[in-house]
Amino acid sequence: MRCPFCHNADSRVIDSREADEGATTRRRRSCPACGRRFTTVEEAVLAVVKRSGVSEPFNRAKVVAGVRRACQGRPVDEDQLQQLAQQVEDTIRASGVAEVPSNEVGLAILQPLRELDEVAYLRFASVYRAFTSVEDFEKEITELRERHHRGGTPPLPGLQLEPPVPRRRGGGRSAPAGT
């Protein structure tokens, strides 16, 4: 590893320890030329395998770019996008695999995006899950509504579509606790 101070081509490892519960290794290095010390962090590359079979390193910026597109015109700021991308990375890393198919990255985006902004979620889901009809949207919106009824996030004024059929199960809030 090259010295960041004097750019000497070589450096010596003087200490090495695991961090982040073993996910990273930190090495303390010393430069034989200038004597200064610096730290490097080693971390396994998380690879994303595309449908074509090509793999590339997981890229948080790509997640942000994809989600940002879905969030156009929505009250979502840059910090929230960054946080979401971090959440996605954490979720994938927590699965403990070194390679994930790209569609699982999409899956890992859906849940935190639903918490963040439901309209952006619908947009993203419609592309990611390749919605082909109004019914696909209705089904998704019905699910969002049911989440609201279960006491999740409060209903959004933006979602005005009515579900296509009357709900079968129970009369609403007083339904017996089944599960």
Which positions lie near Zn ion, rule CB under 5 A?
3, 5-6, 8, 31, 33-34
C-beta separation of 29 from 12 below 8 A: yes
Rounded CA gap, 159 and 157, in Å?
6
Q: At what angle do helices 102-116 and 78-94 cross, to 10 degrees?
A: 130
Which of 10, 162 has the CB closer to Zn ion?
10
User: At 142, phi and psi to the nearest 5?
Assistant: -60, -40
Taking the complex as a whole, the smallest distance from the CB of residue 24 to Zn ion amounts, in Å, to 23
Rounded CA gap, 67 and 69, in Å?
5
State the residue for tokens 């590893």.
Answer: 1
Which of 10, 135 has the CB closer to Zn ion?
10
Which of 31, 84 has the CB closer to Zn ion?
31
Taking the complex as a whole, the smallest distance from the CB of residue 4 to Zn ion amounts, in Å, to 8
Taking the complex as a whole, the smallest distance from the CB of residue 10 to Zn ion amounts, in Å, to 9
Which of 6, 94 has the CB closer to Zn ion?
6
Taking the complex as a whole, the smallest distance from the CB of residue 28 to Zn ion amounts, in Å, to 14
